[in-house]
């Protein structure tokens, strides 16, 4: 006796199998998304520093690696040529150096450079001019909470947000500020600043840019490596 398969039974079986497979894939994707969300949330929370250094050494497309005796980093070609200058104060103490870029601009609406500035100073640096704004690197204690660090470095009135990070095995601070500077009559200051105490040899390191360009400085800092 010959049995004929009902075509509707075959169609129903195919549809039912497709639904089951789709459901399994959907549940797996949801678990992966939840895992990613938990990871991102952990990175943004307070507590121990988060390591954001890049494992790979390649620069992003249209970026170039800058090499110096003490450190190297990748920069965006649109910023122009990087320029090194000795900013040490004539009658001050210690040494101060800077790297800026040819296409840098300053705007009064945020009083911050449009391209990153990189600064490094000896631990004994003390300016001669009284109106030079210094950073109290020795005040930074990574065992403290973010609010405690904000107070310790004198940023409590700068509407500051701080995140503790690890950059090339160095403890660092990522600081967002948005405030009005009345003491030196600078007006509104909206910046992203990185501070790395004891970055190399006898030097502290700082990077700053207009907060409008925060993504570009974040990228640069992920490629930063020190030669010690």
Q: Model confidence over 22-38: pLDDT tens digits?
A: 554 555 555 444 444 33
Specify the range with the lowest mean pLDDT, choosing from 3-12, 143-152, 157-166, 167-176: 3-12
Q: Please determine, for residue 109, whether its predicted confidence score (pLDDT) is greater than 80.
A: no
At residue 2, the pLDDT reads: 45
pLDDT value at residue 46: 47
Neighbours of 223 (CB within 10 A): 22
Question: Residue 214, Cα to own-chain centre: how many angstroms?
Answer: 8
Cα–Cα dist 212/4, whole Å:
71
By 3-state DSSP, what share of the chain in percent is helix, strand and coil, each rounded to 5? 30, 35, 40
CA dihedral in degrees (218, 189, 199, 98; nearest 10)? 100
Write down the pLDDT at residue 110. Answer: 67
Instruction: Quote the pLDDT of residue 57.
Output: 60
Residue 120 pLDDT: 96
CATH code of domain 50-226? 3.40.1000
Grade residue 144 by pLDDT with cuts at 50, 70 and 90. very high
With a pLDDT cut of 90, the percent of the chain lying above it is 51
Region 165-180: what's the mean pLDDT? 90
Is pLDDT of 111 > 80?
no
65: tokens are 């690696």
The residue count of the chain comes to 228
pLDDT interval class at 134 (50, 70, 90):
confident
Integer Cα distance of 138 and 145 in angstroms: 16
Q: Residue 159: is its pLDDT beyond 90?
A: no
Neighbours of 164 (CB within 10 A): 19
Task: Find where tokens 């490094």 sit.
Answer: 120
The rounded percent of the chain whose pLDDT value lies above 70 is 68
- Which helix (H) or strand (E) segment holds residue 172: the answer is strand 170-181
Tokens of 46: 């307070």
Write down the pLDDT at residue 75.
97
pLDDT for the residue 157: 81
Q: Which of 136, 172, 167, 177 is nearest to 154 (CA)?
A: 136
More confident residue, 39 or 100: 100
* Average pLDDT score, the chain: 79
User: What is the band of 206 on the pLDDT scale with cuts at 50, 70, 90?
Assistant: very high
Count of CB atoms situated within 10 Å of the CB of 106: 10
Using the predicted structure, report yes or no on whether residue 44 has a pLDDT greater than 60.
no
Upper half-sphere CA count for residue 49 (Cβ side, 13 Å): 19
The pLDDT value given to residue 34? 44
């Amino acid at each position: 006796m010959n049995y004929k398969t009902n075509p509707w039974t075959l169609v129903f079986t195919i549809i039912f199998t497709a639904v089951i497979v789709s459901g399994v894939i959907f549940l797996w994707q949801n678990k992966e998304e939840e895992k990613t969300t938990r990871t991102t949330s952990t990175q943004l929370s307070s507590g121990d520093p988060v390591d954001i250094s890049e494992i790979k050494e390649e620069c992003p497309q249209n970026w170039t690696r800058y090499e110096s005796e003490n450190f190297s980093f990748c920069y965006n070609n649109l910023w122009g040529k990087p320029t090194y200058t000795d900013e040490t104060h004539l009658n001050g103490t210690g040494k101060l150096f800077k790297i800026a870029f040819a296409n840098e601009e300053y705007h009064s609406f945020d009083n911050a450079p449009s391209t990153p500035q990189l600064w490094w100073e000896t631990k004994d640096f003390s300016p001669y001019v009284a109106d030079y704004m210094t950073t109290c690197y020795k005040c930074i204690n990574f065992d403290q909470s973010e609010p405690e660090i904000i107070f310790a470095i004198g940023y409590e009135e700068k509407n500051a947000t701080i995140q503790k990070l690890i950059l090339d095995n160095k403890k660092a601070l990522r600081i967002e500020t948005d405030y009005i500077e009345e003491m030196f009559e600078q007006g509104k200051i909206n910046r992203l600043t990185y501070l790395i105490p004891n970055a190399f040899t006898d030097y502290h390191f700082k990077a700053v840019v207009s907060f409008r360009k925060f993504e570009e400085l974040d990228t640069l800092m992920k490629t930063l490596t020190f030669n010690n």
